[in-house]
Amino acid sequence: MDGSSQKISHAGLLARSPEGTAAKGMNIKGNEDLWVEIQGNTFRNWVNEHLRSENMKVLDLSQDLCDGTRLCALVEALQGKRLKPSWNRRPGNQHHYLENVTTALAAIEADGVKLVNIGNVDIVNGNLKLILGLIWSLIVRYQIGRSKFPPRKLMLAWLQAVLPECRVHNLTTDWNSGILLHALLDYCKPGLAPHWRDLDPNRSVENCARAMNIANREFGIPMVLEPEYLASPWLDELSGMTYLSYFMKQDSPGFHATLRWVNSRLDKPVRGFTTEWNDGKTISEVIRSLGGSATHPEKLRSDPAYWESNLQQAVNAGQKLGVQPVLSVRDMAKTDVGHLGIMAYAAHFQWVKPRPPLADMIAVHLESTSGRVGETTHFRVELLTKELDYSMVRASIIPPAGGAPQPVKLHRGEGAYVPDRMGMHEIVLDVNEDRLDGYFFRVLPRYVKVLPPGMAPCALGSLVEVLVSATGAPRREDILVTAYSPNGRALECPLKTIDGTNSAIFKPDEAGTWEIAITYQGKHIQGGPFTCSVFDPRGVSVSGVEGAVAGRAHSFDVDTRETGAPGAEVHVDVVHDKRSLLCAVEKLDRWRHRVTFIPKQNGKHRIYVYFNGHDVKGSPFIMRVGTQKGRKSSESPVHSRSRESPVNYKSRESPVNSRSRESPIHSKSRESPIHSKSRESPVYSSRSRESPIHMKTVSPVTVSVKRRSESPSYGYDTTDQSFSSSRDKSAFISTSKYTSSSSNQK
């Protein structure tokens, strides 16, 4: 072009920028109206592309929009609906013109487009500069995508992300040679322009024409900009943005190219770059797939109140990979966010060299998914890569109901913790500046303590083993063990000899108070007979779980009258999202307890009920907050727990089995023929190292009693109620953090 060799003034430079659109009403003098020619040509072509379906065409923007018919048709095509009130398709005078234009402008403003310094008279009178400003507003709103951020910034962010070799700095002169356009085509469809690096920049018009023809043929991108204009140093920025926006608008070739890469990093594909990214789960999964330290999506909360925090942790993890955010987390969390900002942010991750996720380089091993108050919980942190060492790892335990984190010292990866409260506990690891969480274990209340000669309450159908030690080699037939039911029915318990120790098995089949009579040569040993309260965990019922509403106090009742054990200890733990909630338990009478708590969020809550330290049948009970439905879970507690805790049972031999091979009670019985009286009130659990009953007697017979860790037939598992005291690795139940989560999902 003749004017290509002429210099442009400061006013002309301003006019070529988005801030210097014709809507500003700037006065352009001399040959500096070249940009107006290019922009007018581009905008006219853009308008005609959208009027094609209406069999309309604009030849002169200053004249052909005056009567409002083409403007109304354009707005209807962009919005995909008819305008109301209807417009006059055959206007006969200026009054009709003004009405048509008013209808179109009102529809544009109603759709969120802010119009400044332009009215119906300006359009009817053919004010070209204001008309160009109006059309640019339509291009931004309906093609580039609405955002409070300048479209130039977002477009450059995406182009810089997808063309890292090209160093894109602007939307005008960088594109004159046609080389960048070829590179963009090759990104959208790899192999479409593989030799773009070898193009001669001096053959700019030829390069631009070839690239624009390929774009039209392969992707249907209209040539709203002439190749000569794209190759011109006078190319105005708005014309360049208009043409390039066809490569990055919704459903464009660039949109789908970026989306294909994103979906290659996801387990479940997404359809776009708007609402599916609001909660932070999608970007977290993308970052994790590259080895970033973002939280696993399953660990992120879905409540909109947590979306910004979800996104913030993902952005922090992305920055450690060298990717800076394009939008703020507040804007990314908005449901009306435009696609371009998130698409540009996601595109930057394409060039990050993947590394294993931090969570895949560390495994946490637990002895069990649940422990008890006052008993030591052992866990082990295993480093699966030489890139880490234990000096980089700090461990802490977060107790239930918002308790402060409690640091735990690791000795070669081994950690021990004694919980002092019931509920869900979480193991958190800090590795340098990264945090790994989501390792949960449940802590049950203490077993009920009783003093001799009583035995701890036991569940109906559980096994109680009576161990008998003797001095002087008495005859086994001189020792008799008999259990008497609450109604006086006698149940003989034959003695068996295992490793030199006599034992008898007592399996209560009736709720109530039993007596265990142990005689030597027909006489009770000292302290006998012994009593044992047997309860039926099936007799616990929960009522009133329906109708809970988030943010309001809700009460439900726990009834134990069918257990056969009045006045027993009842503990309740309400869990939501793997975290225990504060609740108050009020004892109404010998049988009934009322539990009150305030649910923080809607959704499924689990109610764990413990009776004398035992899980009850049906626990956890299910409460659905925010719905009218409430039902009692039909699943056994062990199944529920396996989903709640990210722990997989890898060990072939459970801690319980390893304990049963060599009982601490057995070994004590062999060491000493006569047990001395215990100084402490024993806790009757399978972990107790002291005999539950110790007494002095003149007979050569002593007795100790323990409850076997075997499940009653009605369906809940007692093997998961205590930790093993064994430190042997085979007794561990181990987990890798996220392997468990995926298996639980299944």
Cα distance between residue 497 and residue 483, in whole Å: 19
- Confirm if 161 and 350 have CB atoms less than 8 A apart: yes
Identify the CATH number of the domain in which residue 566 sits. 2.60.40.10
Strands 423-431 and 733-735 come out as: unpaired
DSSP-derived 3-state class of residue 514: strand
* 26 pLDDT above the threshold of 90: no
* pLDDT band at residue 95 using 50, 70 and 90 as cut-offs: very high
* Higher pLDDT, residue 707 or 110: 110
Question: Does 601 reside within a domain?
Answer: yes
Judge whether residue 691 has pLDDT over 50: no
Q: Look at residue 607 and tell me if it is in a domain.
A: yes
Reply yes or no on whether the pLDDT at 625 is more than 60: yes
Provide the 3-class DSSP secondary structure of residue 623.
Answer: strand
On whether the CB atoms of residues 382 and 413 are closer than 8 A, the answer is yes
For β-strands 377-383 and 362-366, DSSP reports them as: antiparallel
Return the amino acid letter for 147.
S
Under the banding of pLDDT at 50, 70 and 90, the label for residue 654 is very low
Q: Specify the pLDDT at position 477.
A: 76
Give the pLDDT of residue 707.
44
Domain stop point among 249, 268, 295: 249
In a domain, 310, yes or no: yes
Mean pLDDT within 10-29: 39
Q: Mark whether 40 and 135 lie in a shared domain.
A: yes
Residues 134 and 41 in one domain: yes
Give yes or no for residue 206 having a pLDDT over 50. yes
Residue 265: band (very low, low, confident or very high) from pLDDT cuts 50, 70, 90:
very high
Q: Nearest-CA neighbor of 40 among 184, 185, 239, 212? A: 239
Listed residues 296, 316, 351: the one ending a domain = 351
For the chain, percent of residues with pLDDT exceeding 70: 77
- The alpha carbon torsion through 192, 45, 151, 246 (nearest 10 deg) reads -20
Residues 181 and 96 in one domain: no
**In this model, does residue 583 exceed pLDDT 80?**
yes
Regarding whether 121 and 162 lie in a shared domain, the answer is: no
Residues 545 and 611 in one domain: yes
Q: Average per-residue pLDDT in the chain? A: 79
**What is the total count of domains within the chain?**
6
Query: Which of 131-140, 386-395, 432-441, 668-677 has the highest average model confidence (pLDDT)?
Result: 131-140
Query: Residue 473: which domain range?
Result: 454-535
So what's the pLDDT on residue 517? 86
Domain-located, residue 279: yes
The closest alpha carbon to 229, from 11, 21, 44, belongs to: 44
- 241 in any annotated domain: yes
Which of 95-109, 244-258, 725-739 shows the lowest mean pLDDT across its residues? 725-739
Distance CA 186, CA 182 (A): 6
pLDDT tens-place string over residues 440-457? 999 998 876 544 455 667
Angstrom distance (rounded) from CA 540 to CA 551 = 28
711 band by pLDDT with thresholds 50, 70 and 90: very low
Instruction: Read off the DSSP letter of residue 520.
Output: E
The answer as to whether 651 is a domain residue is: no
Token pair listed for 425: 């506990």
Over residues 12-21, mean pLDDT: 40
Most confident of 74-83, 644-653, 719-728: 74-83
pLDDT at position 253, please? 98
Angle of CA points 538, 540, 543, to nearest 5°: 130
How far is CA 276 from its chain centroid? 13
pLDDT attached to residue 595:
94
Question: Which DSSP category does 142 fall into?
Answer: I
157-167 average pLDDT score: 96
Rounded Cα distance, 511 and 428, in Å? 43
Helix 307-320 vs helix 281-289: crossing angle, to nearest 10: 20
My answer on whether 138 and 45 are in the same domain is yes
| Confidence at residue 433, expressed as pLDDT on a 0 to 100 scale | 67
The reported pLDDT for the residue numbered 472 is 54
| Residue-level pLDDT at 431 | 87
Residue 482 has pLDDT above 60, yes or no: yes
Q: What are the residues whose beta carbons fall under 8 Å from the beta carbon of 282, sequence distance 6 or more? A: 262, 266, 270, 276, 297
Round to whole Å and give the CA distance between 347 and 162.
Answer: 6
d(CA 506, CA 532): 11
Please check whether residues 384 and 469 belong to one and the same domain.
no
Domain match, 139 and 164 both: no
For residue 407, give the CATH number of its domain.
2.60.40.1930
pLDDT of residue 62: 92
Please indicate, yes or no, whether residues 386 and 415 belong to a single structural domain of this protein.
Answer: yes
Cβ distance 612 to 561 under 8 Å?
A: no
* Same domain membership, residue 237 and residue 260: no
* Average pLDDT rounded to a whole number, residues 342-360: 91
Least confident of 12-16, 73-77, 168-172, 531-535: 12-16
Q: Is there a domain that residue 725 lies in?
A: no
**Higher model confidence: residue 536 or residue 692?**
536
Cα(54)–Cα(74) distance, rounded to whole angstroms? 9
Looking at residue 211, which CATH number applies to its domain?
A: 1.10.418.10
**pLDDT bracket for residue 689 (50, 70, 90):** very low
Place of tokens 């988030």: 550
Q: Please tell me whether residue 482 adopts helix, strand or coil conformation.
A: strand
Same domain, 561 and 509: no
Give the burial class of 631: count Cβ atoms within 10 A of its Cβ; 0-12 exposed, 13-18 middle, 19 or more buried.
Answer: exposed
Place of tokens 């009258």: 561
| Whether pLDDT at 666 is above 50 | no
How far lies 567's CA from each of 449, 532, 591, 612, 616, in Å? 14, 15, 7, 10, 16
The closest of 191, 188, 160, 186 to 174, measured between CA atoms, is 160
Q: What is the pLDDT of residue 474?
A: 63
- pLDDT value of residue 708: 45
For residues 214 and 192, what is the distance between their CA atoms, to the nearest angstrom?
9
**Nearest to 650, CA basis, from 320, 364, 351:** 364
Tens of pLDDT, residues 495-524: 887 776 777 888 888 888 888 888 877 888
- Sequence letter at residue 744: N
**Residue 706: pLDDT above 60?**
no
Q: What is the pLDDT of residue 305?
A: 96
Mean pLDDT value across residues 255-260: 98
Q: Which of 625, 652, 685 is the last residue of a domain?
A: 625
Q: Residue 78 is which amino acid?
A: L
Q: Which class for 629: exposed (0-12), middle (13-18), buried (19 or more C-beta within 10 A)?
A: exposed
What number of residues does the chain have?
746
CA distance to 304, 439, 453, 496, per residue, from 332 (Å)? 12, 29, 67, 70
Sign of the dihedral through C-alpha 233, 15, 132, 326: positive
Alpha carbon distance 108, 123 (integer Å): 14
CB atoms within 10 A of CB 385: 12
Whether 43 is covered by a domain: the verdict is: yes
Most confident of 118-122, 474-478, 627-631: 118-122
My answer on whether 552 and 592 are in the same domain is yes
Q: Which residue has the higher pLDDT, 264 or 20?
A: 264
